[in-house]
Amino acid sequence: MRNSPRPSTRSGFTGHRLLAWTDADPRKATAPHDAIDALIDDTPPEPIRPGRTSRVIAMTSGTTGTPKGATHDLSISSLLPVALSHLMRVPIRTGAPMVIAPPLFHILGFAYATVGLGMGMPLVLSRRFDARKTLESIAACEAEALVAVPVMLQRVLDLEESPRTPSLRVVVCGGSALHPHLSDAFMDRFGDVLINVYGATETGWATIATPDDLRNAPGTVGKPSFRLTIKILDENGRELPPGETGEIYTGGGLRFAGYTGGGGKQVRDGLTSTGDLGHFDAAGRLFIDGRADDMIVSGGENVFPGEVESLLGAHPDVAEVSVTGVDDERFGQRLAARIVRRPGSQITEDDIKAYVKKRLARYKVPREVRFVEELPRTSTGKVKANAPND
């Protein structure tokens, strides 16, 4: 073979390394990586027959620092329950085209790429997300499914005029919080096609919310996946009843084998911490209240920035918002909001504070409000934590 991939022994790996995407001419790729495009003109290589269970490394989002590599040991026993939950609640069809908007190194994009390949679905990918081009791709390819993160759905809604997408049957959203105002607005325009999936890079998806869930219980991330255990635990490891907020622990999903740089997640009685805080309602639907390390204590009161962020996101003059906790000499910690105004809006800091004060407890009102041109985001669409307020 003229451009056959070369074996590598780096980190003990003895398989083939191929360069899947490059800005340069892929046919001119040289060692140590060969371009996958070069295989098109060559005799297909012999199929690889691994001698052990595959191991996949997915990168975390990196919102609070450098992304970490989360290692998974894949097996039929760990993948089958996940696949069955997906097939029962997400109405995608074999052979139907699917547009995947998130990058494939993100767990959401990677997961649905593997789902699509396994079901024989043509995958429509792009190097960078563009809301209008994404809808044009759906229309041109008659795609029935779209995979996206919440900020991408907001970009789609922000289009003044957009191509019609009559073929679209399901939109899978995940990767960060899907606020009720966004899910309602999206389904009002595109129909009840929205599915919200919740999980973590370390554990895979844990819950799936159907359109009925999102309509009947706005803000929910749905019910647990098939054969997956989810418990809400307090700081002492005691399971909490519905309605009470604690840390979310999961078990029975993907087998997290630790980070490539060492270390892992906290484990209690065989359940792995997600690092998120949440609660169940009486119907067994899960709600995310925030990150465990995001909760602040302001003047002796526990405050979840996500609650305030969701409220402000529904304000008609707010295009985007991020609420975080910062240190405060008087109160210990306080809330700070970064807001992107909608075009033409003249909303002020006092307006924002009055809006929150009218709807939430006084101690949840942000003590600092800054208006910015845009929110700094990672390549997967999450707002970067601790970014400077320009």
pLDDT digits (tens, 9 = 90+) for 199-228: 876 666 789 999 999 999 999 999 988 778
Domain count for the chain, please give it: 3
305 within 8 A of 335, measured Cβ to Cβ = yes
Position 376 in a domain? no
The pLDDT of residue 188 is: 96
Indicate whether 228 and 361 sit together in one domain.
no
pLDDT at 295: 81
Bridge partners of 248, per DSSP, are: 232
pLDDT tens-place string over residues 100-149: 999 887 778 888 888 888 889 999 999 889 999 999 999 999 999 999 99
For the beta carbon of residue 335, count every other beta carbon within 10 angstroms: 25
pLDDT for residue 122: 94
Q: Residues 71, 126: one domain? A: yes
Which residue segment(s) compose the domain that 367 sits in? 296-371
Do residues 130 and 238 both lie within one domain?
A: yes
Taking the CA atoms of 368, 369, 370 and 376 in sequence, report the sign of the dihedral they define. positive
Regarding whether 339 and 207 lie in a shared domain, the answer is: no
What is the pLDDT at residue 380? 64
Whether 195 and 326 share a structural domain: no
Q: With beta carbons less than 8 A apart as the criterion, state whether 222 and 209 touch.
A: yes
Domain boundary among 291, 319, 341: 291
Say whether both 176 and 228 belong to one domain: yes
Same structural domain for residues 260 and 314? no
Is residue 244 scored above 80 in pLDDT?
yes
Tell me: pLDDT of 82 over 80: no
Tell me the pLDDT tens digit for each residue of 183-194. 999 999 999 999
Give the per-residue pLDDT at 337: 94
The answer on 27 and 123 residing in a single domain is no
Whether residue 386 is contained in a domain is answered as: no
Q: At 366, which CATH number?
A: 3.30.300.30
The pLDDT of residue 69 is above 80: no
Residues 200 and 318 in one domain: no
% of the chain with per-residue pLDDT over 70: 73
Q: Give the residue with greater pLDDT, 308 vs 254.
A: 308
Considering 291, 320, 344, which residue would you say is the last residue of a domain?
Answer: 291
Confidence at residue 89, expressed as pLDDT on a 0 to 100 scale: 82
Identify the residue with better confidence: 241 or 115. 241
Q: Most confidently modeled of 42-51, 190-199, 248-257, 375-384?
A: 190-199
Confirm whether 320 is domain-assigned.
Answer: yes
**343 domain-assigned:** yes
Q: In the prediction, which pLDDT does 274 show? A: 86
pLDDT over 60 (residue 302): yes
Q: How far apart are CA 377 and CA 383, in angstroms?
A: 4
In a domain, 123, yes or no: yes
Confidence of residue 316 (pLDDT cuts 50, 70, 90): very high
Q: Are 60 and 66 in contact (CB under 8 A)?
A: no
Of 58, 88, 101, 96, nearest to 254 (Cα)? Answer: 58
Mean pLDDT score of the chain: 81
Say whether both 22 and 117 belong to one domain. no
